[in-house]
Structure formats: C-alpha cells, structure tokens
Amino acid sequence: MPLLSSMECDYPLIDSNFRDFCASHVIYSVEDFLLRDLYVLVISTEQHHNSERLKEGITQVLTIINGQHQPWVNGQELLDDALQNKSSLPTGCRRIDVFLHGGLKKGHLSELVGPSSSGKTQICLRAASRVAKGWGKIIFLDSGNSFSSKRVAQFVTQTSDSSAYEVDKALQQVMNNIVCLSVFDIFTLFEVLHQLKNNLISQVDQHIRMIIIDSISSLITPILGGGGAQGHALMVSVGFLLKRLAHEHDICILVTNHMVAGEKGTSKPALGESWRGIPHVRLLLSRDRARNISSMSVLRHPHMATGDRIEFEVQ
C-alpha cells in the first residue's frame, strides 16, 4: 500500500502537517492506517489547532481505502477464512441456517438490513436464545429497548420437547448466558467495545460467542449529519473495531440497520456507501404481511451470490 508522502499531489489534504500528525502516531502508509484505532486517532486531533483539517485528512484516507483497496481487504479476509475454516453459529431458524450454509459465521461481522417490522429484532432474539442455550455467552447491545426476555423465553420453550423441569433449567442457562446492555450513543458503544476487547485479551470473557447490536444505525446516524469528517471517521472506526473483535477472537457479530429513502421512491440501507463495504455479510429482510411470510436476500456474502433469496416464517 502507498506511503502517505507519495499521495499529496493527488490528495492535497494529505499535506506535510497531516503526515506529521500521522507520524506522531507511527502512521506512514495506508496500511498503517488499517492497523490503528481510528476512534483514538480522531479524538487525538482535538489537541491540535487544525483539528478539522486533520479530520478531513483522516476521512480522505478512509475514502481511499474504501474506494481503491477494498478488494485487497476482502481477498485477505477470504484467505484468512479459508485457512482458519471458520465455523457457524445457528440463527435458531432452520431455513435461514440451511440457506446460509450453517448460519452466521464466527469471525464475521454480519448485518441484517430491513424496514421496520421486517423481523430484524426477532432474528437477533432467536439467535441469542439459540446460541446461549448450547454455545456460550451473548452480549446484546440494545440501542432502542428492543430486548425482550419474554420473547427469548418463548423461543426457548417453543423449541423444547423436554419436561417442565428441563425446560426451566434450559431457560435459566439461556438467561444467565445473555448479558443485555443499554447503549444509546456512539461514544458509549466505543467504551463498551473497548472494555470487551480488554476483557477478551485478558481472558476475562473468554466464553463470549456472539455480540449483537440492535441497532447499529440508530447509534451512527446522529453523528453523520452536517457532512462533517468526524462522524464519518467514527463510523468507519467502529466498523473496523467490530471486525477486529470478530476476527481476533472468533466471535460472531450481528448488527441491524434500517432503511432510508433512496432515488425515485426506492429504499436503501442507511449509513451510506462507506459503510456498505464494511460488513462481511449483508442480508436484506422484508415481510409480506398478507401471507405472514418473511424473506431474506443476500446483498453481500463472501461465499454466496448476490440476490440469493429464501422465504421463511418467524413464529
């Protein structure tokens, strides 16, 4: 990847002042950028009189990474997946698990996209209840009071033919394995994720199997208004932090994203083009209310064709 010093002619924001700032953080190339905590980098700009221009420079580098080097990143991720033979965790819906060749991949950041009432939260709750029952600990980051212990209990009892005693025991295990935290802004999210990272490194939370954020878009959208560089940089930073947590600790991370108005009356996923290339997997949900049937379509997947689709029923 190119050195920052070779890019000023094409990108004036990457001037000597910006490069000096980067050098103070041991960043000399685009590759170095990918290895740094962008959240910390953005915050550190506040110590400089030209902080806004430095933030614009950070956004410029992120744009270069997203526009020119994303295929390289994806190819490396595919190679890593193949070498590590990443396994899957179930969603709790058999048709979805078969469709996704086993479920949600560990080590991946997966995103559920869809309009309101399309089933995003229901799939999150069902996946949490299933994984917590047989695989380990779940961290459920709730940004809109969507977590329902009652709904989790329904999922557990629906899928069991055991005695009442065994069902109660399984339900207790599931509830003990799900940690729900309320997170209402991006800065609290960073604090929680950094604490999780430290706990995982020190093996305090070594049994975490899945992190769910419902919804990621409600946390990021408020900081994107006005076209400022800081919001964009924070969005990309949280994306890379989630991918790093997933990859380094073999965790499945599942986030939800809402839809916004697009061109000519169409709808599109929120968070824009820069976010689109961050999740490993993007799945579009929709619901036919007349038939009470939901559908899932592939928007992005390392091993599936875009447009692949399945219909299913979430009870």
Structure tokens at 275: 């976010």
Cross-strand pairs, 109: 253
Structure tokens at 21: 């700032």
- Give the mean pLDDT per block of 10 residues along the chain (315 residues): 81 91 88 70 84 84 61 46 66 92 93 93 94 92 93 83 80 92 93 91 83 95 74 84 89 95 85 86 92 92 91 78
- Distance, CA of 315 to CA of 305 (rounded, Å): 27
- Distance, CA of 106 to CA of 209 (rounded, Å): 8
Give the CA distances from residue 303 to residues 76, 130, 135, 253, 298, in Å, rounded to whole numbers and listed in that order: 14, 24, 24, 17, 10
- What is the residue whose two structure tokens read 């409600």? 218
Structure tokens at 160: 């069991």
- What is the residue whose two structure tokens read 């619901």? 287
Structure tokens at 315: 């009870």
DSSP for 173-221 reads HHHHHEEEEE--SHHHHHHHHHHHHHHHHTTTTTTEEEEEEETHHHHHG
Amino acid, single-letter form, for residue 313? E
CB-neighbour burial class of residue 145 (10 A; exposed 0-12, middle 13-18, buried 19+): exposed
pLDDT of residue 229: 66
Burial 45-57 (b: 16+ CB within 10 A, else e): beeeeebebbbbb
pLDDT of residue 75: 47
- Distance, CA of 215 to CA of 257 (rounded, Å): 6
Structure tokens at 283: 């799945």
Structure tokens at 154: 């329904």
Query: Do strands 293-300 and 281-288 pair parallel, antiparallel, or not at all (unpaired)?
Result: antiparallel
- Distance, CA of 126 to CA of 130 (rounded, Å): 6
Region for 110 from its dihedrals, namely left if φ exceeds 0, alpha if ψ lies in -120 to 50, beta otherwise:
beta
Query: Do strands 252-257 and 208-214 pair parallel, antiparallel, or not at all (unpaired)?
Result: parallel
Q: Residues for the chain: how many in total?
A: 315
